[in-house]
Structure 1
Amino acid sequence: GPVLQPQAPRERARMNQIVAMLDNYAYGPMVWDVYVQRVEPPEGQRPDEARIADGLEKARRVLTALSDLVGDRLWLASETPSLADFHAAPIFDLFQQAPDGAAMLAQFPSLFAWWETISARPSVVAALT
């Protein structure tokens, strides 16, 4: 299987940085504020539009930072898939299920291309279904 920990120190540091960014800045807004509110609001409740708007604003900031960090690489941290890619996949999967999330992701061409690539991998398809 693939080596999920890059060997090069700079790539390994970038992978760790991206995982930390996802945990601290992406998961809450992209999953709880956008996906849960838009796609699966608590039973009997309407989506909280203010929370969605705040989540989208925070998601835009983290997607901008991530896009700048990734540049035109196919994978997030290195030239091959790493833990960063597989950590990001479920967050992006939920985010893009919300129409507002999908529309925002489409505004980041490199991240959109990454999502199209990773979401087609058989292991990711199996994990996300």
Structure 2
Amino acid sequence: MAASSEDESSDLFKWLDKVWHDILLQSDDEVAVSSFESYIAKDVRVKINHDSITREAFFSYVTSTRATHTMTQLSKKEIKVWEAPGGGGCVVDEAVVVFKHKETGESYTGTVVMVSDVRVGEDGKLTIVETTEVVTRS
């Protein structure tokens, strides 16, 4: 049976944290697009709250949010991880992010609990094949 970890952050969680950092939080749009293309599967399944969205809609959401807001991660924690034999696995994590509008300066805090399914692709690289996000904001 594959490992399940509860104490220390797993390598899979650390990989996922870096992927989302590169897609959402760092300031270089080219790095964000390249990371999205590299790590989000072409046939990814994405669900945000009640809505199932396409990869293209998810990409549009990511790029439009990056264009209008600066995001600062306040916290991120691994809730649960299952590591698949041979690589990949599933990660449940929670993040708290401040979104600051670039033009108005207004900000709000978003909290997301995410379940991510990560698989080893045909090229041997890890990719996100499914993500379900429960998102709230205050």
Q: TM-score range by the shorter chain?
A: 0.3 to 0.5
User: Greater share of helix residues, 1 or 2?
Assistant: 1
User: Greater share of strand residues, 1 or 2?
Assistant: 2
Higher relative contact order structure (alpha carbons within 8 Å, sequence separation ≥ 6): 1
TM-score (norm 2): 0.31
